[in-house]
Homo-oligomer: A and B are copies of this chain.
Amino acid sequence: MKTILIDGLGLIGGSIALAIRKKWPDDRIVAVDVSPAVLEHAKRSGIIDEGSLQLNAVAADADVIVLSAPVGIIIDHIKTLAELSLKPEVIVTDVGSTKQEIVKHAQKLTEKKVIFIGGHPMAGWHKTTISAARADLFQSAYYFLIDDTLIDERHKAAARALQGLLSELDVKWLTVSASRHDRIVAQISHLPHILASGLVNMSQNEFQSSPLSLKLAAGGFKSITRIASSDPTMWTDILLSNRETLIDKINRFHQYLERVRQALAASDRESIRTFFEKAKVTRDNLNEQTGAHAPNFYDLFLDLPDRIGSLARVTRILENAKINLVNIHILEIREDVAGVLQLSFSNQEDRLLAKRELNRHGLPTIRGDQ
């Protein structure tokens, strides 16, 4: 029987606890969290065996320690652990959103012969703050293991042990260096967040002097800025722990913007066209590469005069015809109007079959031309 210590019982820590519980019911799970209520609830529902508000009160017994708090706290707790006396073969790991800073601080553990393995499961759930975790939260998601921390056979064996412990998560394991990890997430997650929040802040001035433009900010603006509603504290932490990479990314983005500005100043139609064309090719390609559907390609659109009734009719017709649906969405394109239903299919056959079935049941699709 091993003792697993989960430090931070949020969505990720909770999901990891559940996955371990399911696969290794004999292991003892101890959790540390700032909230007595969270610990009490987790204990009552059997997710953990014991809770503690203090890491140093329970760290000594642990065979595995999973640091699953925000990045700033992970770093603090690595420092704490480096001061404590731990089991000689304990494996310490983390789930932080950035890796270079954490790996740097974890050096203190390595110096004390404490095994540290850097990790990062990509759940894609940044936007939600749900506290109810699930054992299959990460199913088929990528879980990074950080190369820099797999320094010898002892560490590599520990990584394999960790993969065994977490096998119920059913993730895709990937090994990358801390710096490459941080560059990737800077590009696909951190920089987009900065751009979205910057755009919102800049728009605020316009909106303040003109309530009209606020009413007009529908569709594209709202979807591009949605991530600006994320938790400011968490994002401040993330940015500060990925400082140098982000400074470089911002500098490079300045250059991209500057090229557009120059093309505009010179009325250089060809450059602007190339700029948009390149982006379209890459973005369309992204859909194919990640297995998602090309935008609007296998989509059907139909009116939803009576939102809930029509929706139920549509899904019933598709169910009866056993047509597989990739996505369903109500387009919020206009105020005060019931909306347009967008149905996405993975191929043209399904799309045409669905169109025929819906039309046959008196539900006309909007895009009648194909």
Contact = CB atoms under 8 A, between A and B. Distances in A.
A97 to B, nearest CB: 12
A240 B272 contact: yes
Query: What is the size category of the interface that chain A forms with chain B?
Result: 35 or more
Contacts of A256: 198, 201-202
Contact of A184 (B212, B246, B291, B322): B212
Contact of A335 (B140, B284, B325): B140
A54 interface: no
A111 B126 CA distance: 58
A258 B334 CA distance: 35
A229 to B, nearest CB: 5
Interface string A260-291: 11001101010011011111101110110111
Given A192-B199, A228-B283, A250 B239 contact: no
A269 B206 contact: no
Nearest to A252: B202
Contacts of A319: 308-309, 311-312
Contacts of A141: 333-334
A301 B187 contact: no
A151 interface: no
Contact of A124 (B215, B219, B278, B287): B219
A355 B231 CA distance: 25
B198 A128 contact: no
A62 to B, nearest CB: 27
A111 to B, nearest CB: 25
A332 interface: yes
A164 B336 CA distance: 22
Contacts of A128: 296, 301, 367
Interface in A162-197: 174, 176, 180, 183-184, 187-189, 191-197
B192 A220 contact: yes
Contacts of A246: 264
Given A140-B336, A188-B221, A206-B183, A198 B253 contact: yes
B276 A232 contact: yes
A15 to B, nearest CB: 11
A217 to B, nearest CB: 5
A359 interface: no
B267 A261 contact: no
Interface stretch (A18-26, A79-87, A129-137): A129-137
A-B CB proximity, top 10 nearest: A197-B279, A232-B276, A312-B319, A124-B219, A312-B315, A124-B333, A198-B256, A132-B368, A228-B283, A200-B279
Interface of A: 122-132, 134, 138-142, 174, 176, 180, 183-184, 187-189, 191-204, 206-207, 210-233, 235-236, 239-240, 243, 246-247, 250-254, 256-258, 260-261, 264-265, 267, 269, 272-273, 275-280, 282-284, 286-287, 289-292, 295-296, 301, 307-309, 311-312, 314-316, 318-319, 322-330, 332-337, 366-369
